[in-house]
Structure 1
Amino acid sequence: MIDRDTKWRQGSLLKPEELAVLGVKATNDTVGILISHDCDIPQDKEGYLELILGLKVPKPDKNFLSAKNVRKLHLPFTGPDGKLYVELCFQNRIIVVRDDFCKLSGPLESVSLADADKRTLKQWLTVRYGRPAYPNMFENRLKRECRKKTPVEKGIGELAAKKSAHITALFFSLGEEREVELDEGEPYYLSIYVVYDEENGAIEARKEAEALAKEILALMRSVYGEPEDALEICVESCTALADTQLSFATLMKIDQWRLEWVSLNDEDPAFFALGG
């Protein structure tokens, strides 16, 4: 039985030797993480709990940190030997019977997840279902080539990948046309926000974000033209913005642009267009 005094929390690690109790075939690098919500864990009415299986990685890929990639996350835990990075893939979630889970002796308490990283885990689990679907016409226009065999959408991803140490997200604003399929010859008016982590390396992060914003603006305008000439996408602005400056009101008007493909190549079957 799991009561309200339980030590289990969302983000708790299972003891490796107890994975077999749940029928999980594990290797030495397998990590089991409880991802059910804190409020659901002690509820007897919840007949099932949700886990995700990950793999230890010796070094994190910066493109998979901070929930930048909707399909893969490198999540840092703190253990007796320092940082432990675990690679999570969204497809590796499993549902276990609550009665079976109750047979476990408790979480692995020698390894913990910081509050900020737990928020990252929550965000990553949420964006799978909450990421926006842009108008088909807008997506089609982003498939214009910025160079041979490279569409604009991937060109932006490649630029962001080179400066991803401090960049937390890109946001696109289409204004009143965010859900509208425009006719040929009617441009989408686009504003782009390059959001950076102000808490970690503020000066360097701002410079990195400003440089990326200039590069994205130059790429977009080289393809679609200056605002007065644009017929497909009119890029009105591309601005670097600290994450602390994003108000709730602003977030309601803009959509996060997912960079799923920043570390993938054209032959990789995991490449998906930006709408998901």
Structure 2
Amino acid sequence: METWSRATPWRQGKFLTKNSATALGLSADGFDSLVVVASHDCDLSQLPESEPYVEVVVGREVTGEELNGNFTNGKNARKLHLPIEGGDTPYIELEVLSKQSVLKTELAEHAPSDVHRNKSAKVIFQRWLASRYRRSAFPDQFEQRLTRHKLDRKIVDAGKKLGSDIAAIYFDLTNEEASPDETYLLGIVIMYQTEDDTARAKAAATSMKSKIETAFQAKLYSNTDHKWKDIELEYVDVISDEGFSYRMSQILKPWRLEYISLGADPQQPIDKAS
């Protein structure tokens, strides 16, 4: 019988084999399950006497046709489409409500799968796990105006088919303390990835920019008196993940809603305290 030690091969982001997932009673409701370790390495290094459980997320395989751009790059706090290597499909779908716990004494009997993710996907997974507790808050009144005019859905629709090209969307809300009769002043920054096809990603972000500008103009701008109502869209900028500065990360806020809780700062590894 194997025992759990500090030298365990299990680390955050390691996958269980399908046979191990089945043996441990982990499944994704009829789908081919892929189970990934969510516990932090610091917790995994602890002996079962002090930290008896390993937290895992039970996911399912996702084909390229099922890929939804709004779930890539940690954009959504509840659901993630994460690229993997060595699996039967190029992506895995993970949901925050699919977290389960496994005893270390039971997991010790199993070895990690050959399925893995690259360094970038590792950081995305870390940030997705943390994003549930790091949401950026905007004024309720602002969110209500955005929803009332269905502009939240317009942004979602604009990015849905763009895959992982769009890394994040940030809001620059100048006057968060606006009174009920004031117009909010909003800037939007669309950040695109440069890891894969930079030209394609930039084109996707530019297309999204155009759709967002058109939607805001149609809903909130009056061509009669040349005024905005509720929310004035001051600008929409497109920027690469490499061009996103530390100062910008301090000023801008990632936009987070229930179904499009968009990613945090430019991807950097995080520690447990983050």
TM range (shorter): 0.7 to 0.9
Match of 2:75 among 68, 77, 84: 68
Structural mapping, 1:13-28, within 5 Å? 13-24=15-26
Distance change (3 Å), C-alpha of 1:259 and 1:210? farther
The 2-side partners of 1:70 and 1:47 are apart by 27
Task: Give yes or no for the alignment of 1:160 onto 2:159.
Answer: yes
Match of 2:184 among 178, 188, 200: 188
Query: Which blocks of at least 5 consecutive residues in structure 1 are unaligned?
Result: 146-150, 263-276
Distance change (3 Å), C-alpha of 1:38 and 1:245? same
The 2-side partners of 1:6 and 1:228 are apart by 65
Distance change (3 Å), C-alpha of 1:251 and 1:228? farther
Structural mapping, 1:23-38, within 5 Å? 23-24=25-26, 29-38=32-41
Q: Which amino acid aligns with 1:24?
A: L
Match of 1:203 among 195, 199, 214: 199
Single out whichever of 219-228 and 64-73 deviates more from structure 2.
Answer: 219-228
Q: Which amino acid aligns with 1:32?
A: V
Percent identical among aligned pairs is 30
| 1:71-103 CA distance string (max 9 Å, x none) | 222223222x7754322111100122333333x
Report the CA distance between 1:47 and its aligned residue: 2.4
Match of 1:265 in 2: none
Task: Give yes or no for the alignment of 1:77 onto 2:84.
Answer: yes
- 1:152–1:220: 8 Å Cα contact kept in structure 2? yes
Match of 2:58 among 53, 57, 67: 53
- 2:21–2:33: 8 Å Cα contact kept in structure 1? no
Query: Which blocks of at least 5 consecutive residues in structure 2 are unaligned?
Result: 261-274
Instruction: Report SS of the residue matched to 2:10.
Output: coil
Distance change (3 Å), C-alpha of 1:58 and 1:190? closer
Instruction: Report SS of the residue matched to 1:95.
Output: strand
Pairwise CA RMSD of aligned residues?
2.5
Q: Which amino acid aligns with 1:163?
A: L
Q: Which amino acid aligns with 1:56?
A: E
| 1:154-178 CA distance string (max 9 Å, x none) | 112112224345111111111351x
Match of 2:100 in 1: 94
Distance change (3 Å), C-alpha of 1:159 and 1:20? closer
Distance change (3 Å), C-alpha of 1:202 and 1:218? same
- 1:170–1:257: 8 Å Cα contact kept in structure 2? yes
Instruction: Report SS of the residue matched to 1:236.
Output: strand
Report the CA distance between 1:197 and its aligned residue: 0.8
Report the CA distance between 1:193 and its aligned residue: 0.3
Q: TM (normalized to structure 2)? A: 0.81
Match of 1:126 in 2: 130
Report the CA distance between 1:41 and its aligned residue: 0.7
Match of 1:272 in 2: none
Structural mapping, 1:38-49, within 5 Å? 38-44=41-47, 45-49=50-54
The 2-side partners of 1:135 and 1:248 are apart by 24
Q: TM (normalized to structure 1)? A: 0.81
What number of residue pairs does the alignment pair up?
A: 251
Single out whichever of 203-212 and 114-123 deviates more from structure 2.
Answer: 203-212
| 1:217-265 CA distance string (max 9 Å, x none) | 2221332227972342121111111111112221122111247547xxx
Q: Which amino acid aligns with 1:166?
A: D
Instruction: Report SS of the residue matched to 1:39.
Output: helix
Instruction: Report SS of the residue matched to 1:78.
Output: coil
Q: Which amino acid aligns with 1:161?
A: K
Q: Which amino acid aligns with 1:75?
A: L
Instruction: Report SS of the residue matched to 2:80.
Output: strand
The 2-side partners of 1:84 and 1:162 are apart by 17
Instruction: Report SS of the residue matched to 2:187.
Output: strand
Report the CA distance between 1:2 and its aligned residue: 3.0
- 1:175–1:253: 8 Å Cα contact kept in structure 2? no
Task: Give yes or no for the alignment of 1:137 onto 2:136.
Answer: no
Q: Which amino acid aligns with 2:199?
A: I
Instruction: Report SS of the residue matched to 2:217.
Output: helix
Q: Which amino acid aligns with 1:16?
A: K
